[in-house]
Structure formats: structure tokens, C-alpha cells
Chains A and B, each alone.
Chain A
Amino acid sequence: GAGVSQSPRYKVAKRGQDVALRCDPISGHVSLFWYQQALGQGPEFLTYFQNEAQLDKSGLPSDRFFAERPEGSVSTLKIQRTQQEDSAVYLCASSTRTDHGYTFGSGTRLTVV
């Protein structure tokens, strides 16, 4: 597609549920990033892939968060046993190179109740 596609756009989860958020990057983009954005704040880095390799996962807040990109294109961010503090917008971005401007998707708004 023409842009970065994220699904679902909105997700409501009960506390303790597992969720999976999907990102379809722009075709051919090597680099893929996940960010978390709380209301009124700037995006916070979660993790980074180059092709299928996860090169940096230093921003993942706990071992409940897991990301994968098995074939170097689509990526999934999984959150196990969701907590209220996980409520945020999860943004995915892709780029041809890490020093180019990234293209962001519209995000998935996760609300944990």
C-alpha cells in the first residue's frame, strides 16, 4: 500500500487479556519501529527491526511486551496480561534507511479497562 497500515485502529481490552497489534509497513522498507504515545506526550521508543532482525528492544517496558517480524515485512506487537498503564496509542513507523524520515501509521489506540 501507499502508507503504513496499522490494525486494529481501536482496541478495548479487559485487564489481564492478551492483545496483538499489527503493522503493515511500506513495501520494501527495511527498518520498522514501534513507539508508545501517552496522551499529551511525545512518542516513546519501544523496539526496532531491520528486516527480520530485532536490533533494539531496550524500550519495551516489561517482559509482557513482545514484538516480532518473522519475514521482514509485517510486524506484530503483543502485550500479555494487559494492565491499565498499558493504555496508550501504539505507533508503527517504517523507513528505507534509519537516517531518513520515518513514515508513521495512524496508530492503534489501546484502552485497558
Chain B
Amino acid sequence: EDQVTQSPEALRLQEGESSSLNCSYTVSGLRGLFWYRQDPGKGPEFLFTLYSAGEEKEKERLKATLTKKESFLHITAPKPEDSATYLCAVQALKGGKLIFGQGTELSVKP
């Protein structure tokens, strides 16, 4: 069964304190791994898609990496505006649906 597990469930950081979020997955053939950011009361906002092990993508203070079993979202020198829930999802080769993890709620304090 395809599934995604994210850790930790919640993460509290001080402004400028770098850290990483983990996404472990099992899927019957990976088409893509997606990272989204979700603010309270809003829909998920697309961040990255990774397609193969070893791939990395960056956007401002965020960097996503991918191995055959997990993905990391590295946050460098976070700011309070980075506070949100970060969702990881996988898409199998068969079918178009995304399978989401439960998310990591990130809080960055000034």
C-alpha cells in the first residue's frame, strides 16, 4: 500500500535556527514527490516536485532533496513568515492522485 509519513508532527524554531523536515514514503513506482505549504484556512500551495533519487530543488530558504525512501525539506535561517504546515505527497506511476502525509506544523518565533 502506498503511504507517506512525515516527522516531526510539530516543530518550533527560533528565527534563524535551521532545521529539516522528513518525509518517508513507500510507493509502487514513484512518478513524483511533491511538497506543499498550507497556511491556516487556505488550500495547499505548491512548492516543489522531485522525480528521481538524488534530485534537489531550492526556493528562497527552502531546499528539498530526495532519496529512494525519503525526502527532506531543509529550512535555512527561517523567518516567522515561514510558519505554516508543510505537506509531502507522492504520486505513483499508475494513476494521478496524490497521497499526502499528515503534515509538519512549523512555528518560527522571532
Contact = CB atoms under 8 A, between A and B. Distances in A.
A70 B37 CA distance: 31
Contact of B103 (A35, A42, A56, A104): A42
Interface in B38-57: 41-46, 48-49
A48 B98 CA distance: 10
Contacts of A93: 43
B95 A56 contact: yes
Interface string A24-43: 00000001010100001111
Contact size range, A? 20 to 34
24 contacts: A33-B97, A33-B98, A35-B100, A41-B102, A42-B6, A42-B89, A42-B101, A42-B103, A43-B44, A43-B87, A44-B100, A45-B98, A50-B96, A56-B97, A98-B96, A99-B31, A99-B32, A99-B49, A101-B46, A102-B98, A103-B46, A104-B45, A106-B43, A107-B43
